[in-house]
Chains A and B, each alone.
Chain A
């Protein structure tokens, strides 16, 4: 996951007020209480000023024994439904870890490793893929992701599944000059393109259909190259 730049100006979202919990809570709920305690404690281990910031995430990555650029961190962000690139709020942390059903670091490490499998089911892939794009819209009202980041993300997320297509597309995106940024519509279009269009012959591609023009141009470029 690309490291988000430290933005001193934008304030991180308000951390939710920490609920006061005592271990001597209701009997029968001890296990859960303990569990959520552990989750909370884990949170505070990485948090800084009530939120896990990029530094905290770095630390988390070390603990998870993964590079911060590892795709599984991005997947974790997806599972947490993280709203802002480079930050996890307490709510996101709690809800996310509950979904994963983990409350210790070890369990978390295991769960994260298995996220890859989960993501690669086709219904989740689209969701994760779209999430990745939206996650990288850092400014309010930002609609587009810059070309470089888009290429990196493509490579990271779809590279293993669609190696040659992704390589060619990234190649094209870098040399063309019609578009300097990618919007969500085009982004989603890329995945559908890889999924639906037969490769390398591109037989079933019809440029009179509703494909984004950037893909029309890509296909034309490919065909030119072939000649």
Chain B
């Protein structure tokens, strides 16, 4: 390229003469100083940014950075001192406003100054590690204004006073507060914390300590909680409006501590308005508030839970041991269900469905339900009542709900095997008397029990249902094979498999001739198709419907038990019979016969027989006649007593004894099972393991387990170790 040195027409930048003239620096600075002054005096409009920038730039370039920086500090400092004086002079409420105004001014000024001195900020300052201009401005402000001895205290007090005013209900200038607080935050988080937040928190603590003391003396629990909640919300709102968001947890902590934590126990236990009263009156709102407030403080919820638990246990204990309540088992159980419902509602509405509360509820129920050894019996009676009549007309859904609730109570029982025994008895009576309101409900409950306790628990119960069904088929078959009996189905037989039904002592009585022939026919028919089986008539469990005509022509159909039928049929052939004759003719065992005669002769409205003498008790020499004067509004009269009832004391003892006897083989089976797999085990562990295995049925008594172990040792199933007598060994 033929590019010789062309003489380009250059436009050169206007260069200042590079003179290292000490006066140069001063002169330049003077310009800048003047500018700063003007800026502070709100006269910036007349300044040329470009020129000032250039001046600053040159100073730095010519190595006058030190001077520039130093003079800057001096100038700003003197301006701030001025400002400080004017703030100090402000009176009363204007103090803060003046401060705020001056701060805004300072910020604007600082921005402009920074812009002018940008080059210094970018080059000189990093290399000398000095504070950048903006930060420098803030620091100077902090040092000469905020921390000025004449301002500092007054400043803090003003702020705190305003907060206090607001707390006592006055309206304050929130915008101003916000700005001031923002200023502190801009100055640095430590400034905010030291110069405001810390004292703020201290003063707040004092305030709330006093306030809570005042309230706790004059308010009841519910009111107090409302006030505490209000204050808490207030503080949170204050933070959103004009404080640093990080202060929220700190101030709420203060309120929680002073208003809630310090008075927690007093609140919970407050007479007439504390937690117990809230529980009794179902005050969901108050309890919910208590829950929400207390969950904020340590051990808050556990305090509530403890009081609830002990109250519930006390209430429950009274419920189950109150002799009045124990008179009616159905009422007893209903009351338990109501109590459970109540607390379920409380926990879901007020306690946020908190699982720990649910657990406390469960453990309390488990505790007091088992205080009464008759609970299993009563629950079975309740179910019996429902299945007989209580569930009549109830929708399927509601039936399920009721049964589910009963299952919940069942789960709390420790002696589930006792329940099983009673349930079986009651079920037997229901099935045999045909008195169940809904087959579906019966089956549904069995399924629930099976899910809860396993197959073994319900296999026998299911067997009972099967027997009933099979018996129906058997009857069909019987009548089909005996057409000579015509259409009148006088005999209905239920064939019960011995193992499935509750054991009854095998007694028979002498059936009237009309019956026994028919019974024989059935027996031979049945045994014809089922060889190898044995049938025995359970005359203490049957019922009969007898058509009767009394002396004055009254016609009635009597529903009686088999025993009663045997007695009554005798009067077809005799007008008068004494006790001994009846006993001999029927062969009914004495205690049953006495009860039977009582129900026929001594009960008002059901006295189809007359007795001489007219006493309530049956004597050996009593004489019986048909009561010709018998009358009843109804054609059909029910006299039989086959309804399940609360057991009498001797019956209860007997059942309890049978349950204990049944437990022994179960305990032994558990011991053998465990030892077979473990081979060698020490005493304490056996007890623990056995108890655990049997837990779903009953609570095993350690002494009883020990006795069973000794019995097994004697029968050479186990042996004690020779050296360590605490160890047992399985003998194969």
Contacts and interface: CB of A to CB of B under 8 A. Distances in A.
Interface residues of A, number: 13
B706 A185 contact: no
A143 interface: yes
Interface stretch (A7-15, A25-33, A60-68, A207-215): A207-215
A40 interface: no
Interface string B676-688: 0000001110010
B710 A185 contact: yes
A152 to B, nearest CB: 22
A152 B725 CA distance: 25
A212 B684 CA distance: 14
B710 A212 contact: yes
B707 interface: yes
Summarize B's interface: helix, strand, loop or mixed. helix
B726 interface: yes
Contacts of A213: 703, 706-707, 710
Which residue, A143, A213, A216, has most C-beta atoms of chain B within 10 A? A213
Given A143-B714, A185-B710, A185-B714, A210 B703 contact: no
A210 B726 contact: yes
Interface in B666-717: 682-684, 687, 702-703, 706-707, 710, 713-714
A31 B720 CA distance: 47
Interface residues of B, number: 15
A98 interface: no
B156 to A, nearest CB: 68
B714 A210 contact: no
A32 to B, nearest CB: 37
Nearest to A214: B710
Contacts of B703: 213, 216
B683 A185 contact: no
A144 B725 CA distance: 20
Contacts of A185: 710, 713-714, 720
A165 interface: no
A183 B714 CA distance: 7
A192 B706 contact: no
Interface string A12-50: 000000000000000000000000000000000000000
Contacts of A208: 684, 687, 702
Interface in B711-732: 713-714, 720, 725-726, 728
A192 B725 contact: yes
A195 to B, nearest CB: 11
A191 to B, nearest CB: 11
Interface string A133-167: 00000000001100000000000000000000000
Nearest to A217: B703
Interface string B126-169: 00000000000000000000000000000000000000000000
19 contacts: A144-B714, A183-B713, A183-B714, A185-B713, A185-B714, A186-B710, A192-B725, A208-B687, A208-B702, A209-B683, A209-B684, A209-B726, A210-B683, A210-B725, A210-B726, A213-B707, A213-B710, A216-B703, A216-B706
Interface of B: 682-684, 687, 702-703, 706-707, 710, 713-714, 720, 725-726, 728
Give 5 closest A-B pairs by Cβ, nearest first: A210-B683, A210-B726, A185-B713, A183-B714, A213-B707
Given A144-B714, A210-B728, 4 more contacts: A185-B710, A186-B710, A209-B726, A213-B707
